[in-house]
């Protein structure tokens, strides 16, 4: 393994001069000659990578000692950094993975702290810190915005696998689900499992384990059985044999991710069985190997006319029926990775079943690879959501959980997942700023209490500051980096305002989910795949009535006092108003403007902030590496153009329904509605 790592280091060094995003947040590592004296008695591949990283990139002339200790408080992945008065630095952990994470912490401190290494004890909040990849076996990626898969397809790239493992280890991630949840049965075939073994071998030295998304019909589709019924003994035996085969190749295989009976995927309901029947059958096959089942709750079956209620309706009655190595993987919101939506009531609503959060790093609904939308604030808002009086706390009054993060971190098999945004493109994520969301997910998966502003500051210091080629004085560099951090911190709300303010949701263009198409409702299309189903704009008002008093009753799925808060339009947070209420266009808001006026204000403010990104970024032009600066500026110009499409498209469409004049402060429209409808049609042939 040592010669493989050295080859990787050489490749990274040779490409260091091209500041094109390929180096991710490692680009500052090569600004001075390393001087460290690193010692470690452990000779495992993982420990030697830790030694190599510090030997090659730690610039202090202090001695650094890596050592294993017996300390239950550190768990299996935690570490402790101590600094002696002499300046000697010690990194302690109970495993070689912990030593590697500690080494990356030292390198991060080096780039962030002018005062030298700092003593710290750090233990991850989640046992399983997972990236879900939507990569297909033909090399394509569903909702992929950064090129082809580097896991699948005809070509293999072991160096890319190692670079990926290094990036994940540097931010504390430890599991990769390497294929699409819309899984092909072939992923469990001999050839695919051999590829999976090779990927696992490349990632293992970086503390990463692999998992696979599976197709529930594999016993019939791949194994030739007449059924895939989870209660059929032959089917159960097929899965046990398949698990044995996998673990013979990959002893540390993490487990299965399952999307069942959703969007056409097969599942246990095809045989009259429950979601628990299907999950428990797989759990039994994995149990001897200590594997886990991550069973997605993203199901919208016709069990209720309100899609927002359907996952809760499906899984709440099964609470307590799942095996203890099953985790229900729940999207943060009840619809589908929207720019903003309330939390899914399964968090706290499942009193007896472990749940884990699924966040989307890939920005399918937030501008994809074209927009600067830093998601740290969105994820923190979700993770810190209070769970007062939830079903879990009523069931466990002596050990209540105060927030979603608190709830999801305490399980024996605690986990958090992010849908990845990586591909084979040079810049990994389709744009340099999108790398920040990969970085932020890892940092929050390690510690969900971390301030997203601090994470943004870290990423800017690691990624943007090294591109300041003219070496401005420290004060100027700090000011420039602070401006970039400020851009990032306002970007999520700017995106929400530009796309779907005040609780509007899912008014994206059909198929590609990039631009606006609030009018999209082709004949014969499933109604909950069309924007009018969600915004329900008519002459009287706009918004989806989910109240118990007059609507679908979705508010009843939440615990009090949150349910009471959102039930009443007068107390409902403005960010969720149109998610829970259908309100008149002249509804008076807290700022003494009507709802219609507020929509116009929000769309206008979002557009203006996004335009200003170009001004802020241009201020770095004379100091920044030209290639780096140009790549970012091209994206910001595209975002400003497309934000205008959102502004004009949504306001013109809603005005065509309410027939109200635009307020005097509204910026004149640049397009007409027919032009915008044609734009979305043209986009359909070029976007995913």
Residues designated catalytic = 263, 336, 364
User: Beta strand pairing status for 79-83 and 120-122?
Assistant: antiparallel
Instruction: With beta carbons less than 8 A apart as the criterion, state whether 395 and 352 touch.
Output: yes
**Alpha helices (runs of H) in 447-473, residue ranges in sequence order:** 452-459
- CA-CA distance, 85 to 83, in Å (whole number)? 7
Q: What DSSP element (H or E) covers 362? A: none
**Which pair of tokens denotes residue 354?**
């472990």
Pairing of strands 37-40, 63-68: parallel
Dump the DSSP string for 117-131: ---EEE--S-SEEEE
Please state, in angstroms and rounded to a whole number, the distance separating the CA atoms of residues 187 and 218.
9
In degrees and rounded to multiples of 5, residue 412 shows phi and psi of -60, -40
- Scan for tokens 């590609």, then name that residue: 512
Residue 25: burial class (beta carbons within 10 Å; 0-12, 13-18, 19+): buried
631: which 2 tokens?
């790549």
* Residue 526 buriedness (CB in 10 A; 0-12 / 13-18 / 19+): exposed
> Residues near 381 by Cβ (< 8 Å), separated by ≥ 6?
none
Instruction: Enumerate residues 6+ apart whose C-beta is below 8 A from 526.
Output: none
Half-sphere exposure of 592 (CA within 13 A, CB side): 0
C-alpha to C-alpha distance for 477 and 454, rounded to whole angstroms? 17
Angle among Cα 292, 296, 302 to the nearest 5 degrees reads 150
What does residue 256 show for φ and ψ, rounded to 5 degrees?
-110, 140
441, 477 contact by CB (below 8 A): no
Closest C-alpha among 387, 361, 389 to residue 374: 361
Place of tokens 């700017």: 494
Distances (CA, A) of 49 to 4, 101, 332, 588, 639: 10, 11, 35, 61, 40
CA atoms of 494 and 361, how far apart (whole Å): 18
Buried b (16+ CB within 10 A) or exposed e, 403-441: bbbbbbbebebbbbbbbbbbbbbebbbbbbbbbbbbbbb
Contacts with 597 (C-beta within 8 Å, 6 or more apart), sequence order: 589, 663
Per the DSSP assignment, residues forming a β-bridge with 663 are none
d(CA 304, CA 314): 10
Query: Look-up: residue for tokens 């159960």?
Result: 236
């Amino acid at each position: 393994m040592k010669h493989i790592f050295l080859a990787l280091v050489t490749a990274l060094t040779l490409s260091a001069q091209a500041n094109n995003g390929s180096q991710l947040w490692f680009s500052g590592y090569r600004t001075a000659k390393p001087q460290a004296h690193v010692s470690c008695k452990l000779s495992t591949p993982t420990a030697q990578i830790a030694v190599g990283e510090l030997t090659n990139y730690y610039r202090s002339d202090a001695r650094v000692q890596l050592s294993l200790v017996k300390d239950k408080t550190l768990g299996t992945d935690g570490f402790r950094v101590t600094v002696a008065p002499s300046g000697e630095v010690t990194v302690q952990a109970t495993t070689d993975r912990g030593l590697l994470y500690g080494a990356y912490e030292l390198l991060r401190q080096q780039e962030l702290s002018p005062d030298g290494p700092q003593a710290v004890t750090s233990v991850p909040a989640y046992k399983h810190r997972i990236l879900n990849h939507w990569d297909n076996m033909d090399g394509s990626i569903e909702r992929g915005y950064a090129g082809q898969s580097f896991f699948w397809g005809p070509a293999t790239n072991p160096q890319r696998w190692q670079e990926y493992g290094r990036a994940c280890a540097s931010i504390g991630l430890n599991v990769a689900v390497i294929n699409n949840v819309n899984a092909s049965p072939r992923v469990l075939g001999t050839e695919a499992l051999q590829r999976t073994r090779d990927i696992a071998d490349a990632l293992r030295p970086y503390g990463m384990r692999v998992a696979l998304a599976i197709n529930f019909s594999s016993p019939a589709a791949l194994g030739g059985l007449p059924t895939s019924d989870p209660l059929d003994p032959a089917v159960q035996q097929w899965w046990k044999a398949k698990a044995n085969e996998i673990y013979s190749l990959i002893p540390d295989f993490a487990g299965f991710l399952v999307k069942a009976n959703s969007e056409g995927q097969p599942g246990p309901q095809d045989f009259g069985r429950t979601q628990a029947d299907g999950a428990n059958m797989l759990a039994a096959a994995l149990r001897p190997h200590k594997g886990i089942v991550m069973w997605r709750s993203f199901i919208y079956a016709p069990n209720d006319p309100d899609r927002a209620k359907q996952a809760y309706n499906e899984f709440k009655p099964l609470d307590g029926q799942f095996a203890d190595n099953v985790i229900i993987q729940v999207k943060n919101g009840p619809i589908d990775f929207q720019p903003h939506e309330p939390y899914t009531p399964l968090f706290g609503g499942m009193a007896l079943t472990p749940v884990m959060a699924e966040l989307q790093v890939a920005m399918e609904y937030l501008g994809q690879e074209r927009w600067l939308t830093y998601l740290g604030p969105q994820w923190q808002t979700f993770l810190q959501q209070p769970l007062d009086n939830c079903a879990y706390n009523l069931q466990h009054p002596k050990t209540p959980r105060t927030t979603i993060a608190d709830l999801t971190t305490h399980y024996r098999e605690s986990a958090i997942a992010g849908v990845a945004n990586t591909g084979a493109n040079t810049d990994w994520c389709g744009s340099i700023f999108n790398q920040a969301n990969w970085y932020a997910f890892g940092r929050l998966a390690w510690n969900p209490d971390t301030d997203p502003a601090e994470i943004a500051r870290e990423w800017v210091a690691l990624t943007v500051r090294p591109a300041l080629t003219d070496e401005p004085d420290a004060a100027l560099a700090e000011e420039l980096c602070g401006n970039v951090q400020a851009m990032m911190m306002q970007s999520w709300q700017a995106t929400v305002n530009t796309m779907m303010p005040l609780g509007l949701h899912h008014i994206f263009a059909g198929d590609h989910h990039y631009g606006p198409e609030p009018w999209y409702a082709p004949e014969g299309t499933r109604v909950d795949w069309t924007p009018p189903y969600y915004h329900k704009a008519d002459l009287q008002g706009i918004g989806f009535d989910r109240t118990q008093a007059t609507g679908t009753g979705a508010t009843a799925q939440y615990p009090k006092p949150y349910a009471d808060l959102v039930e009443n339009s007068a107390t409902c947070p403005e960010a969720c108003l149109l998610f829970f209420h259908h309100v008149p266009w002249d509804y008076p808001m807290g700022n003494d403007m009507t709802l219609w006026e507020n929509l116009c204000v929000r769309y206008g403010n979002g557009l203006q902030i996004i335009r200003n990104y170009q001004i802020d970024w241009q201020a770095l032009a004379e100091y920044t590496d030209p290639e780096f600066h140009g790549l970012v500026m091209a994206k910001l110009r595209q975002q400003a153009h497309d934000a205008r499409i959102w502004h004009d498209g949504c306001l013109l469409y809603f005005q065509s329904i309410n027939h109200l004049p635009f307020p005097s402060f509204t910026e004149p429209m640049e397009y007409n509605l027919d032009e915008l409808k044609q734009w979305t049609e043209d986009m359909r042939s070029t976007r995913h």
